[in-house]
Amino acid sequence: MELPFAESYKIKMVESIKKSTRQQRTKWIEEANYNLFNLSSDKVFVDLLTDSGTGAMSDKQWSEMMLGDESYAGASSFYKLKAAIKDITGFDYFLPTHQGRAAENVLFSSKINAGDIIPGNSHFDTTKGHIEFRKAHAVDCTIDEAFNTTLDHPFKGNVDISKLEDVLKSHPKEKIPMIILTVTCNSSGGQPVSLQNMREVKQLADKYGIPIFYDSARFAENAYFIKIREKGYEDKSIREIVREMFSFADGMTMSSKKDAIVNMGGFIGFRHEEDYDKASVFNILFEGYLSYGGMSGRDMNALAQGLYEGTEFDYLETRIGQVAYLGKKLKDYGIPVQYPFGGHAIFVDAKKFLPNVPKEEFIAQTLGVELFIEGGVRGVEIGTLLADRDPETGENRYPCLELLRLAIPRRVYTNNHMDYIAASLINVYDRRDEITSGYKILKEAPILRHFTVKLEKV
Ligand code: F0G
């Protein structure tokens, strides 16, 4: 008999989670103004709001916490992290930051000016937020295939090279401070970018003299997909693939809360000393001194260890296998999900799931609320609320896709939880015809509104 798949870890510590009744959940979500961010976590049974900072650290990471050096300057923890970053990514220079968006803030402060154009593949919302906050523009050059959720394509995070070239051709070089390549591409469904595509982006960037920075939050998951799906990489190790990926970049921003499996932390990696020097000034101003930048010594130690664990094949196989296990259950039932399954999450195509809810009434948010009421499962809307309003016209932006993201925390839930999530969503699917209306906005912030928006039933 062939041995079945099993997790590459065992459990040493557990945390209780509580079930609730449908009646309680209906009341709680109304009190939360139908915003899942407003729910206190004790009201959630399975929390799939995000895979960011929600992973379970290993015994080795916890033991590294005890060895943290909390010196203000020159802590050994800083040097340990610097060596790990060099080893894994190849970048000689780095700045620690407290999380990914802080890395964006520091890097963009040193590089982006009003009126600049920043092409990329489905920039993440904080990335876009930091670009637009500086009155610059993010131009999405993702391949069209990414927006067809049922189309089978191995690298839906890829950049459309001709779209990118159009952008590079039509603006002066001085107006394009960088290309941002997001690996994996969160907003289009946790979809990977191929090495071939990275190589082509690099060739084009060199032709026009534009630097490339990777938004690397899920770089290891991207490397796993390259190993599994891209010809010629079957026999390469994850770390070899990671090194090749970053060889095409001038630098990276990192939200360590994802693939480095820590609860808080981030960094910027740089190939060139000039870039590091320019950003250093802002790091000291916004984050902290160069050798801690928003992180404590113990957190830097845990991060250094997490970078190694997050780039182990067995871990990634367990992780991505669990996401696919959930995806397959949903797909087999006929629930419309982004396919192939993403690395960190299953993305439910809410427009197809709830065809009777008008787009003005926030389709994916409506589905998120229904799933919470059904089973106490909390996902997150990746749709019109997240897309914010157009900064110039003030109109709602309706993205091609309305998605409900079910992000799976790393090393946290078992496959029984996956079965529970699937059953909850299947129950909503079975009564989808009765769901014909959604929500309207009571109150919203001018930027990144989805975190705090208040809604009421239409
Ligand atoms: N880039 C990507 C691709 C991300 O997914 C995130 C965060 C960030 C940058 C910002 O990093 O949160 O550490 O400041 N994504 C989280 C999520 C919030 O739920 O997907 P951060």
450 is catalytic: yes
pLDDT along the chain (458 residues), means of 10: 91 96 98 98 98 98 98 98 98 98 98 98 93 96 93 96 98 98 90 98 98 98 98 98 98 98 98 98 98 97 98 97 97 96 96 97 98 98 92 90 96 97 98 98 92 97
**Which of 258, 267, 295, 323 best tests ligand 1's pocket when mutated (most atoms within 8 Å of CB)?**
258
Q: Which two tokens stand for residue 102?
A: 């802080």
| Interatomic CA distance for residues 140 and 363, integer angstroms | 23
Amino acid (one-letter) located at 205: A
User: What pTM did the predictor assign?
Assistant: 0.96
For 259-401, strand residue ranges (E) read 266-270, 345-349, 377-378, 380-382
| Interatomic CA distance for residues 378 and 395, integer angstroms | 28
Contact 97, 251 (CB under 8 A): no
417 is catalytic: no
Q: Which residues contact 454 (CB under 8 A, 6 or more apart)?
A: 33, 34, 35, 441, 442, 443, 444
Distances (CA, A) of 77 to 80, 82, 96, 294: 5, 8, 11, 13
| Interatomic CA distance for residues 311 and 224, integer angstroms | 9
Domain assignments of the chain as residue spans, ordered by start: 22-51+313-457, 59-309
Residue 215 alpha carbon, nearest atom of ligand 1:
1
> What's the CATH superfamily of 22-51+313-457?
Aspartate Aminotransferase, domain 1 (3.90.1150.10)
Q: Which residues contact 437 (CB under 8 A, 6 or more apart)?
A: 357, 358, 361, 366, 457, 458
How far is ligand 1, taken at its centre, from the CA of residue 124, in Å? 7
Q: Which two tokens stand for residue 354?
A: 């709830």
| Interatomic CA distance for residues 439 and 140, integer angstroms | 28
List all residues whose CB is within 6 A of at least one atom of ligand 1: 50, 52, 99-101, 124, 126-127, 182, 186, 215, 217, 255, 257, 266
| Interatomic CA distance for residues 410 and 262, integer angstroms | 10
The pLDDT value given to residue 159: 98
How far is ligand 1, taken at its centre, from the CA of residue 241, in Å? 22
- Our CA angle for 385, 391, 394, nearest 5°, is 70
258 is catalytic: yes
Residue 99 alpha carbon, nearest atom of ligand 1:
13
CA 160 from chain centre, in angstroms, equals 20
Q: Which two tokens stand for residue 46?
A: 């399975």
The pLDDT value given to residue 186: 87
Q: Which residues contact 328 (CB under 8 A, 6 or more apart)?
A: 341
Among residues 165, 175, 171, the alpha carbon closest in space to that of 204 is found at 165
Query: Which ranges constitute the DSSP H helices of 177-296?
Result: 195-208, 219-229, 238-247, 273-286
CA 82 from chain centre, in angstroms, equals 23
Contact 84, 91 (CB under 8 A): no
Burial of 229 (0-12, 13-18, 19+ CB in 10 A): middle
Distances (CA, A) of 377 to 7, 23, 44, 421: 23, 15, 6, 7
Interhelix angle 125-133/100-111, nearest 10 degrees: 30
Q: How far apart are the first and last CA of the chain?
A: 55
User: Would you tell me which CATH number, out of the four given (3.40.109.10, 3.40.640.10, 3.30.70.1290, 3.90.1010.10), belongs to the domain 59-309?
Assistant: 3.40.640.10
CA 230 from chain centre, in angstroms, equals 22
Q: Which two tokens stand for residue 324?
A: 């696919």
Q: Which two tokens stand for residue 262?
A: 């820590």
How far is ligand 1, taken at its centre, from the CA of residue 217, in Å? 7
Three-state DSSP class for residue 331: helix
69, 116, 125, 299: which one is catalytic?
A: 125
The pLDDT value given to residue 314: 96
Among residues 85, 244, 67, 250, the alpha carbon closest in space to that of 95 is found at 85
How far is ligand 1, taken at its centre, from the CA of residue 433, in Å? 34
| Interatomic CA distance for residues 223 and 230, integer angstroms | 10
Q: Which two tokens stand for residue 264?
A: 């808080």
108, 124, 248, 372: which one is catalytic?
A: 124
The pLDDT value given to residue 391: 82
CA 20, 22, 27, 30 dihedral sign is positive
Domain 59-309 in the same topology as domain 22-51+313-457:
no
111 is catalytic: no
Rg of the chain over CA atoms, in angstroms? 21
